[in-house]
Amino acid sequence: QVQLVESGGGLVQAGDSLGLACVASGRNSEIGRMGWFRQAPMKEREFLASITWSDGRTNYGSSAAGRFTISSDGAKNTVYLQMNTLKREDTAVYYCAADRNSVGPWNYWGKGTHVRVSS
């Protein structure tokens, strides 16, 4: 079992940057890939970015490409999401997720951290 805890959410102004972090604990050897999702009010959950634990390969959803950057620190069992040029449309609950050996599905989920962007 893997536990994921997100942090870094908060209230920011449009145009600002914000960094999120997700710490994995438990059976971290089971993790193949970690990723970030978000869900805005009245919207479906949206994939933002993922990173493969072993080789650092990244993948981005269309809404994140160009403004968001995912990275990881294996020594800290942590994945990050750096968000730049935030827009009000980025307001959402941001979730960290992980899968087993990069084969899916997304097996583990954090409880989310709220990001609110004012305009």
pLDDT digits (tens, 9 = 90+) for 10-48: 999 999 999 999 999 998 888 999 999 999 989 999 999
Contacts within 8 Å (CB) and 24+ apart, 54-61: 54/102
In the predicted model, is pLDDT for residue 3 greater than 90? Answer: yes
Counted residue by residue, the chain has a size of: 119
The pLDDT value given to residue 87? 96
Q: For residue 24, how many C-alpha atoms fall within 13 Å in the half-sphere facing its CB? A: 28
DSSP state of 48: E
Q: Which residues contact 71 (CB under 8 A, 6 or more apart)?
A: 51, 79, 80, 82
In the predicted model, is pLDDT for residue 7 greater than 90? Answer: yes
C-alpha pair distances (Å), 117 with each of 10, 19, 40, 56, 93 = 8, 13, 12, 29, 11
Token representation of residue 102: 């990069």
Degrees (nearest 5) of the Cα angle 79, 80, 83? 155
